[in-house]
Amino acid sequence: MARREDISKLPQDMRELINLVTRYAAVEIMNDLADAGPEWSGEFQDSWVAVPVGTGASGSTGGGYPYSLGDVPSLSTSIRETARVKKFSIENTQPYAAYALDLEVGEFKKIGRPAGDVVREGSRPVPGFRGDVTAGGGKAESTAELDWYTRYVNSEMGQAIGRGVTFGFRAKR
């Protein structure tokens, strides 16, 4: 946590800017995750939420893809909450999220046709990981590459945060 003594010296409008930048970054990350992840019915894509870690936030969280600033709660500008380093937890509310994120093995049943583009067709081990589809000999379909989530968090999320900072500053000009 940043030192509260230092935060207390920040004027109110600077604390509001920090919150705005954080919210814009959350929006960018939610949209990236929705865009990069699987899209079968669209339900998973529309289920990203930014849950405030601290107290005193206002407004609702979650909405639908594409997400906007109104889908991310405003944070308290109290000294305590502005000093908090971890401000949001970005989560997917679907009970099957761990399978969609390729974090757990599961057994998958195809229902209907996917709304999103199919990136792989073929066979998937049973049980197996959602994105573990290899060409030939099956009717399994995947709408996001295997380990899309891990790749995003490890190598692309930083750019979304950078965009959030840019958009936040522009909005306050």
Partner 1 sequence: MRYQEIRATIESPIQTAFGALSPAVPVFFDNITAAPANTTTEYVRVNIAFGVTTETTLTSNLDFARGSVIVRVYSEKGKGPARSQTLLDTAVTTLLGLSASTRDGSGIYMRPGAINGPTFSTTEASPHLVGRIDTSFVAEDQD
> Which residues are at the interface with partner 1 (CB under 8 A)?
98, 103-107, 125-129, 134, 145-147, 150-156, 158-159
Residue 32 or 71: the one with the smaller Cβ distance to partner 1 is 32
Residue 57 or 144: the one with the smaller Cβ distance to partner 1 is 144
Q: How far is the CB of 83 from partner 1 (least distance, A)?
A: 24
Q: How far is the CB of 169 from partner 1 (least distance, A)?
A: 16
Q: How far is the CB of 102 from partner 1 (least distance, A)?
A: 8
Residue 56 or 125: the one with the smaller Cβ distance to partner 1 is 125
Q: How far is the CB of 162 from partner 1 (least distance, A)?
A: 8
Q: How far is the CB of 39 from partner 1 (least distance, A)?
A: 19
Residue 33 or 75: the one with the smaller Cβ distance to partner 1 is 33
Residue 80 or 151: the one with the smaller Cβ distance to partner 1 is 151
Q: What is the C-alpha to C-alpha distance for residues 68 and 10, in angstroms, rounded to an integer?
A: 27
Q: What is the C-alpha to C-alpha distance for residues 120 and 139, in angstroms, rounded to an integer?
A: 10
Q: What is the C-alpha to C-alpha distance for residues 100 and 37, in angstroms, rounded to an integer?
A: 8
Nearest to 21 by CA among 173, 153, 141, 161: 161
Contacts of 99 (CB under 8 A, 6+ apart): 106, 108, 130
